Amino acid sequence: MYRRTELFIDGGWVTPGTDAAIEIVSPHSEQVIGHSPAAAPADVDRAVAAARTAFDHGPWPRLTPAERIEAVGRLAAVYKERRGDMAELISAEIGAPIAFAKRVQAQLPMMAMAAFTKVAGEYPWDELRPGLYGTDIRVARQPVGVVAAVVPWNMPQFLISGKVVPALLAGCTVVLKPAPESALDALLFAEIVAAAELPPGVVNVVPGDRSTGAHLVAHPGVDKVSFTGSTAAGRQVAMACAEGLRQVTLELGGKSAAIVLADADPAATAKAIRMASLANSGQVCNALSRVLVPVSRTNEFVDAMEAELAELTVGDPSDPATDLGPLVARRQQERVRGYIEDGQQQGARLVVGGAELPDGVDRGWYVRPTLFADADNTMRIAREEIFGPVLTVIDYRDEDQAVAIANDSDYGLAGAVFTEDSARGLAIAGRVRAGSFGVNEGYIMDPLAPYGGMKASGFGREFGREGLDGYLVSQSISGA
């Protein structure tokens, strides 16, 4: 049983202002496996005040970039020592297969820290530009201020590192609000922050529900909000930030398309799509959940994807042989089952999977990996983000129609094209309205590349130099 009773505020562990607790329930056993404190509004106020004081009067924003890079290096070193503990905790909390948790969930944050320190080391913190009137203009980058970082449960530590680390390198201070489902790993991250000896108030961690997040996002002491979550919640965050004229970065939902050209190899393509679509049981925002195939070869590609899904092992996330674990919560299981039933009712052909529990599973929030064919882009399974292990195959006549279908979406987060002709693939990539795109590799998220969406998938960018830009403001100084 994991049990936490304190919040991390102003560099120390403090008693919450309420006895309310968050129950952490195993998605596999459906049993309570831990408890986390739930931050009350007064706790959020205390955390923002600590971050405000640390920014306005503390040493952190006034350190040199090299000194902040060194401090983040300490953070990365401590994280490396605890990454095994982190992987096991994330697997227990959200049901991620332990092999995936070790290889991806706990490893990607270290890669993100390394990438951001590289970016920061090469960043033009202070530069001279020739001015129009014959004198140079000095452009200095300054931290934006106090950052509210709100992260979901699906890739918790990677998303935390993608917000907290660039904010720290920029000289900002942070109040982190994790999702209730993954509160424990965020508090473990707070332990790592404490061990790295960052100054008090620079990072504060306040787990809680939506009301906690809403109070934080609307707080007048916050200068910027970085939010990852659903499009519906993102709209509310954007309105709150507009009201307070606060900067905001939104990384929201997706319904990404994989465009499979007629010259692609069915087996290799199916394998790549499976890896890019069903990781974490399909609970990733950039999953390639729409698969567009040429009508002349539809059966070949559908058969290849059916074979890939049939090889997946679904079951206990603590078993190293498991490929797909359960979904994070009963509500998510019911949601995904509803989409599967709706797809059948609307006339899509169920190739494999379905709403029933997988074979050999008698409890837990599991859903069979599911493949639909003979679908069209007007169906709900093709238009709405399911956030589960469900793939929808749509056929097309020619490349123009494939691009049109890919772009006929409210979302624009990611996408991919599969072809033997790389130049052809690059040409298609330039026609699809998506923030990130892969050619013959699904979509591999590189922490040195900017990541973010278009349309209802949000705005702003995380990772890469652009991810650091988002936590800085430019000051022009003339006559110096």
At residue 349, the 3 state secondary structure works out as strand
Is residue 172 part of the annotated active site? The answer reads no
Whether the model clears a pTM of 0.85, i.e. scores above it, the answer is yes
> What is the tens place of the pLDDT at every residue in 347-368?
999 999 999 999 889 999 999 9
**110 falls in which pLDDT band (50, 70, 90)?**
very high
Give me the pLDDT at residue 442, please: 73
Check residue 479 and give its pLDDT. Answer: 79
At 227, the pLDDT band (50, 70, 90 cuts) reads: very high
Residues 400-445: pLDDT tens digits? 999 999 999 999 999 999 999 999 999 999 999 999 999 997 777 8
Q: Which of 251, 300, 308, 385 is catalytic?
A: 251
Q: What is the pLDDT of residues 17-35, one digit of tens each?
A: 999 999 999 999 999 999 9
> Is the confidence at residue 90, as pLDDT, over 90?
yes
- Among the options 285, 308, 385, 462, which is catalytic? 285
Backbone phi, psi, residue 205, to 5°: -125, 120
- pLDDT tens by residue, 158-189: 999 999 999 999 999 999 999 999 999 999 99
Sign of CA dihedral 90, 91, 92, 93: positive
Percent of the chain with pLDDT over 90: 96
Domains by residue range for the chain, with CATH: 2-252+457-478 (3.40.605.10), 257-447 (3.40.309.10)
pLDDT digits (tens, 9 = 90+) for 29-66: 999 999 999 999 999 999 999 999 999 999 999 999 99
Q: Does residue 331 contact residue 380 with C-beta atoms inside 8 Å?
A: no
pLDDT for res 1 = 83
Q: Which of 375, 386, 443, 440 shows the shortest CA–CA distance to 411?
A: 386
Residue 182: DSSP 8-state = G
Residues 99-108: what's their mean pLDDT?
Answer: 96
Which pLDDT belongs to residue 431? 98
Sheet of 203-205: strand order equals 12-14, 7-9, 203-205, 173-177, 146-150, 224-228, 247-251, 458-459
Contacts of 154 (CB under 8 A, 6+ apart): 94, 280, 283, 284, 285, 328, 387
For residue 197, give the nearest of 281, 75, 90 by alpha carbon: 75
Residue 480's pLDDT is 63
Interacting residues of 453 by C-beta distance below 8 A, sequence separation 6+: 251, 252, 254, 411, 412, 413, 414, 434, 435, 459
Look up residue 281 and give its two tokens.
């049981």
Element (H or E) spanning 104, and its range?
Answer: none
In the residue annotation, 70 being an active-site residue is answered as no
- pLDDT by residue (tens digit) across 302-359? 999 999 999 999 999 999 999 999 999 999 999 999 999 999 999 999 999 999 999 8
pLDDT band at 134 (very low <50, low <70, confident <90, very high): confident
Q: Average per-residue pLDDT in the chain?
A: 97
